[in-house]
Chains A and B, each alone.
Chain A
């Protein structure tokens, strides 16, 4: 079992399996403030001090320079909020009935 400890100051993390590409990403984002822990049975748990570092790694794995931003702004279920650099759910719009717009 992999653990990101409660007192670890590197709060930006990702969990992935041994595969490659976007599909290998299980969870990524913010681990919560000091006092919160992350535990997983997936083989890889990595963590960083900054969101920018996490973003770089996630984009590298996904093979897209915009994957991380897209994930935040579209509320991708793999992203653990909040983000400090992008607006969560920015591209989620409330839908009105088609006949009323």
Chain B
């Protein structure tokens, strides 16, 4: 087998081998890696005699020509494909130079024995692939101080380079700014995902990446550090071709500066889960993305900022700001769980939501959107007056959209209700379950113009909401599709609720449960049902704890009793609890007595 040794000068003249890249521009002149070593070096610890390992090459090694010094006195030179070696027990440095395409993950035997990546050999060793090169090397440490010389052809994938290789011995800042990743226009999925979990930081500044997909690029980076630690700076990046930034930094810790990304200029880009479950660097108060360009191409924002966390300079959990000022949501196709459980106290740029395209948002696309944003206020940065809520008419589900929004901000500091919410287009919505569950605002929501003609459930719709005292559903257009109202307005500050005055086109005949709907509504004084109200479908357990603490007028209670007795035929009934008086000798008392004979047990204030 012929011996081939590459020198830096030979490498600089390698343009003829790789015509798509001008090597003359970058051929290394700087010093080699650690301890004067010039070749790629990795340490293996061989656990037993006759232990066979293989260095598998991507695509069978086409285009490779490399030398291997096995570190035990043996060498294989001029290799153009996979090469294997049988070791005796011991510790060895494998040294490689030349052009190679390692895909070590393919060899199961090598995964556990590689213990150190000592040197990249940037002056002697060219990687023509980075695809699964060091994936799954479960015991690998990282000591290299130089960087790899990458020559990735446009069609070569660069997926999973270090995926699930924890590299927990590396505690420095991994700076890949000099890594030449721009060659490939194919996929670059998870190159650093679930690796470098003990790294103090990760840096990539000023790069251009041409890969078509860069999902999970650096997910879980520094994930092994304490909360607030880490220092991730990935900024001033141009993604010329990537349509997929899925989970790019999910579960990473120590985000510092990820601003000024230029997304691809045409086509769509998914940022689903891009910051999901990630932590900001302690003391950093803002996730500033205001310098992102071409945001109009973003198509998916599912869980994009879900569970983003902040920490103060002492490392204690804190709140922070999301700045998406200037973002254009023209192509946004979903916000499902977008900000769910994040620690944002304000979101700058919400006004840009007026750029949404109504036809793009359907089904559950805004469900859970601001759910569990316990610290969020809309006081300083609010929704547009029009252009967002009034364009959600194709959405069918608003479940938990503002669930617990502002809940932890404290009395008097909740902030305004969402601007424009009064103009919500709910004409195709079937579920508002938990939509405002325990949401806290200082101003009210007016639902009087909402079209609720397709609603099937309002379960826990406004359970525990603050800021709203009056609700008028007179013109909501309810139909018999509505089946449950349980806990809808429980534990609220409501004083006046109207489901219709006199005869109404609202149809409640399909509702099976009004359980606890006005339980713990201390301030309620007026609760009006239409005089043609129907309780036809209410079950024996459907009036349990219906109205406690607050009350309704005698006339209103009389009407409730009359309409219930007239329209409901359940026998035997269950508990019927209304904290109100009926009129002695009136139609209400007659109806109540009839209901008691049908097995209903009343807890109320009696007659007067």
Contacts and interface: CB of A to CB of B under 8 A. Distances in A.
A4 to B, nearest CB: 8
A58 B601 CA distance: 17
B599 interface: yes
A78 interface: yes
B596 A36 contact: no
Interface stretch (A26-34, A49-57, A60-68): A26-34
Interface in A1-40: 1, 6, 15, 26-27, 31-32, 35-40
B515 interface: yes
B69 interface: no
Interface residues of A, number: 23
A81 to B, nearest CB: 6
A42 B601 contact: yes
With a 10 A CB-CB cut-off, give which of B600, B601, B604 has the most chain A CB atoms: B601
B596 A80 contact: no
B281 interface: no
Contacts of B187: none
B577 interface: yes
A38 B605 CA distance: 9
Q: Is the interface of A mostly helix, strand, loop or mixed?
A: loop
Contacts of A15: 601
A94 B600 CA distance: 30
A80 B544 contact: yes
B581 to A, nearest CB: 10
Contacts of A40: 596, 600-602
Contacts of B599: 26, 41-42
A27 B599 CA distance: 11
A36 B603 contact: yes
A85 interface: no
Contacts of A32: 548, 577, 579, 603
Contact of B596 (A27, A39, A94): A39
A78 B597 contact: no
B596 A77 contact: no
A95 B577 CA distance: 28
B519 interface: yes
A38 B600 CA distance: 11
8 contacts: A6-B605, A32-B548, A36-B579, A36-B603, A37-B603, A42-B601, A80-B545, A80-B575
Interface of A: 1, 6, 15, 26-27, 31-32, 35-42, 77-81, 94, 96, 100
Interface of B: 303, 336-337, 368, 400, 403, 434, 437, 515-516, 519, 541, 544-545, 548, 572, 574-575, 577, 579, 596-606
